Amino acid sequence: MWNYNVANQTAYGFQQVAIDYSEDGSTWTQFGTYSWPLATGEGNYGGFLGPDFQGLSARYVLITSLDTGSPCRGISKIAFKAVYCPNEGTLCDDHNLLTTDDRYNDQCECLGIPMLENLCDDPVVILGDSLLYPTNYSAIQYVQSISQVATNQRTSFIGGDFVELNPGFESEAGAIFIAAIDTCTGTTANAARIARRLASRQVVKPTDQPAQMLTITRPDSGDEVLISYYVPAAGDVNLLILDAGLQPLHTMIRHEFPNRGHYQKRFRTKKLAAGLYTVSYENNGQRYVEKFVVQ
CA-wise closest residue to 119 among 136, 135, 105: 136
Q: Provide the residue type at 95 as one letter.
A: H
Phi, psi (rounded to 5 degrees) for 41: 80, 5
Band of the pLDDT at 206, cuts 50, 70, 90?
very low
Phi, psi (rounded to 5 degrees) for 188: -60, -40
Provide the CA 33 distance to its chain's centre, in angstroms: 36
Q: What global pTM score does this model have?
A: 0.44
Distance CA 232, CA 285 (A): 12
Task: Tell me the torsion sign for CA atoms 54, 55, 61, 62.
Answer: negative
Distance CA 4, CA 41 (A): 8
pLDDT value at residue 203: 44
pLDDT value at residue 264: 79
Domains in the chain with CATH codes: 2-77 (no CATH), 110-200 (no CATH), 214-294 (2.60.40.3080)
Please state, for a pLDDT cut of 70, what percent of the chain lies above it. 89
Mean pLDDT in residue range 10-24: 94
Band of the pLDDT at 186, cuts 50, 70, 90?
low
Q: Helix, strand, or coil here: 216? A: strand
Q: Helix, strand, or coil here: 205? A: coil
The pLDDT tens digits of the residues spanning 216-270 come to 887 666 778 888 888 887 888 999 999 988 899 988 888 887 777 778 787 888 8
Query: Are the CB atoms for 126 and 165 separated by under 8 Å?
Result: no
Q: Provide the residue type at 20 as one letter.
A: D
Query: Are the CB atoms for 289 and 280 separated by under 8 Å?
Result: yes
DSSP state letter for 195: H
The pLDDT tens digits of the residues spanning 158-181 come to 999 999 999 889 998 889 999 999
Bridge partners (DSSP) of residue 145 are 127, 165
Q: How many CB atoms lie within 10 A of CB 139?
A: 25
Start-to-end CA distance of the chain, whole Å, equals: 74
